[in-house]
């Protein structure tokens, strides 16, 4: 959404809050994933088997948001001949069994008898419905539910069923889950081969990705319905945000959205330290104990050095913390200096 400062001044509070709640930044790594999904979607019909993809990432990195953004271009439609569902999205239930998964898929497609029948008859109905509804791409979220939570064993029956569904429908599928979900592929080689295309959406890395993080903050600020500059991408503010969020997009967005909400209510035209401090205490602090509020004190400045040391130690494999590397990497402040 591109709006001028003049347009912001003419908007109501509700209109501005709507913009804030719908901000979405497509940064380089996300663009790469979008491109990979688009390839699976539109080029699978040129192959003997559909092109599938596995997207893993820690909680809060934006995996599910990627689907929602992509699916906006392919909305469900009601036509005179029936419902058209170009992109089907399902959250895998827990516990994941063939019965619960096929039932959920039928329910999402609108089958009135979604929970009726044997697994075999449900699967046959599902295959027919996917064809009738014009399903072109399937997203299955929470793929880690294919691993039994109590025994940590991979649920082979449901993974085999999924493999067969791909073969029978020839529809590309995108699996989304936490990193531990990748263990499923170790126990099902045939499923693994079909999801050899894998992407990892990790949190921003301060030392090696600091420029990307600051670019992300800059892109966020450009979309804010505020007239004055908040300088979110400045060296100081970026480090405050990184300390608060550990580079996890979900926490950044909580700070941005609630901070902007407070600023607008208070008649402010930028995000200052006061509103961001309140946003941190209300929406982030509980998950970041014992961190101190980086918008109220300078504790975050020591964090920069700690991150440098930790990342450097992991690279050189140091086991003695008293040993200091002679060729120490540049500090984040130098990397970020423009």
DSSP calls for 264-281 = HHTT-SS--HHHHHHHHH
Say what the pLDDT of residue 10 is: 78
pLDDT of residue 233: 95
At residue 323, the pLDDT reads 31
| Averaged pLDDT of the chain | 87
Contact 63, 176 (CB under 8 A): yes
User: What integer is the mean pLDDT of 243-253?
Assistant: 95
More reliable by pLDDT, 9 or 44: 44
Per residue in 151-195, pLDDT (tens digit) is 768 889 999 999 999 999 999 999 999 999 999 999 899 999 999
203 neighbors 246 (Cβ within 8 angstroms) = yes
Q: What is the per-residue pLDDT for 208?
A: 54
Indicate the pLDDT class of residue 316, thresholds 50, 70 and 90.
very low
Q: In sequence order, which residues have a C-beta less than 8 Å from that of residue 128 and are 6 or more positions away?
A: none
What is the rounded distance in angstroms from the CA atom of residue 36 to the CA atom of residue 198? 9
Q: How confident is the model at residue 318 (pLDDT cuts 50, 70, 90)?
A: very low
> Checking phi first, is residue 75 left (phi over 0); if not, alpha (psi -120 to 50) or beta?
beta
pTM: 0.83
Rounded (5°) CA angle 158-159-165? 85
Q: Residue 331: is its pLDDT beyond 70?
A: no
Query: In the structure encoding, which two tokens stand for residue 294, read together?
Result: 């980086």
pLDDT tens digits, one per residue of 198-245: 999 999 988 755 789 999 999 999 999 999 999 999 999 999 999 999
Q: Does residue 290 have a cis peptide bond before it, meaning omega lies within 30 degrees of 0?
A: yes
Say if CB 282 and CB 258 are below 8 A apart.
yes
- Burial (CB count within 10 angstroms: exposed 0-12, middle 13-18, buried 19+), residue 233: buried
Phi, psi (degrees; rounded to nearest 5) at 6: -65, -40
pLDDT band for position 9 (50/70/90)?
A: confident
121-156 pLDDT, tens digit each: 999 999 999 999 999 999 999 999 999 877 768 889
Report how far residue 158's alpha carbon sits from residue 282's, in angstroms, rounded to the nearest whole number: 40
Specify the pLDDT at position 315.
41
321 — pLDDT class (breaks 50, 70, 90): very low
Task: Scan for tokens 């969020």, then name that residue.
Answer: 245
**pLDDT band with cut points at 50, 70 and 90 for residue 47:** confident
Alpha-carbon distance values, 150 to 91, 125, 145 (Å): 20, 32, 11
- How far apart are the two ends of the chain, measured CA to CA in Å? 28
* Residue 245, H or E segment: helix 235-245
The H or E element spanning position 175 is: strand 173-177
pLDDT of residue 137: 97
Residue whose tokens read 């991150």: 307
Q: Kindly state the greatest CA–CA separation across the chain.
A: 73
Radius of gyration of the chain (CA): 23
Give 67-82 pLDDT, tens digit per residue. Answer: 889 999 999 999 998 8
Q: At what angle do helices 98-109 and 119-132 cross, to 10 degrees?
A: 30
Token digits for 21? 């709640």
Could you tell me the domains of the chain?
5-23+206-332 (no CATH), 47-201 (3.40.50.300)
Q: Would you state the pLDDT for residue 154?
A: 80
Per-residue confidence band for 334, with pLDDT thresholds at 50, 70 and 90:
very low
The β-bridge relationship of strands 87-91 and 173-177 is: unpaired
């Amino acid at each position: 959404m591109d709006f001028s400062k003049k347009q912001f001044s003419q908007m109501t509070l509700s209109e501005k809050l709507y913009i804030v709640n719908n901000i979405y930044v497509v940064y380089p790594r996300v663009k790469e994933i979008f491109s990979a999904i688009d390839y699976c979607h539109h080029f699978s019909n040129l192959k003997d088997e559909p092109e599938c993809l596995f997207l893993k990432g820690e909680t809060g990195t934006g995996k599910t948001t990627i689907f929602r953004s992509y699916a906006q271009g392919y909305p469900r439609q009601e036509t005179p001949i029936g419902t058209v569902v170009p992109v089907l999205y399902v959250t895998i239930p827990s516990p994941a069994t063939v019965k619960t998964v096929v039932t959920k898929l039928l329910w999402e497609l609108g089958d009135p008898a979604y929970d009726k029948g044997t697994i075999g008859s449900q699967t046959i109905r599902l295959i027919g419905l996917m064809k009738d509804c014009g399903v072109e791409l399937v997203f299955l979220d929470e793929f880690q539910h294919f691993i039994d939570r109590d025994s940590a064993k991979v649920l082979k029956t449901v993974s085999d069923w999924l493999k067969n569904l791909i073969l029978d429908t020839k529809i590309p599928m995108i699996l989304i889950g936490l990193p531990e979900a990748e263990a499923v592929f170790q126990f099902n080689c045939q499923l693994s081969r079909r999801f050899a295309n894998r992407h990892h959406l990790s949190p921003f890395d301060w030392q090696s990705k600091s420029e990307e993080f600051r670019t992300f903050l800059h892109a966020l600020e450009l979309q804010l319905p505020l007239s004055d500059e908040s300088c979110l991408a400045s060296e100081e503010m970026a480090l405050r945000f990184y300390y608060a969020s550990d580079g996890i997009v979900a926490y950044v967005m909580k700070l941005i959205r609630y901070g902007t909400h407070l600023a607008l209510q208070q008649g402010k035209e930028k995000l200052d330290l006061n509103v961001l401090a309140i946003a941190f205490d209300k929406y982030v602090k509980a998950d970041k104990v014992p961190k101190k509020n980086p918008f109220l004190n300078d504790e975050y400045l020591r964090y920069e050095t700690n991150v440098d040391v930790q990342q450097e130690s992991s690279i050189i494999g140091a086991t003695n913390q008293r040993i200091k590397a002679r060729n120490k990497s540049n500090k984040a402040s130098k990397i970020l200096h423009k």
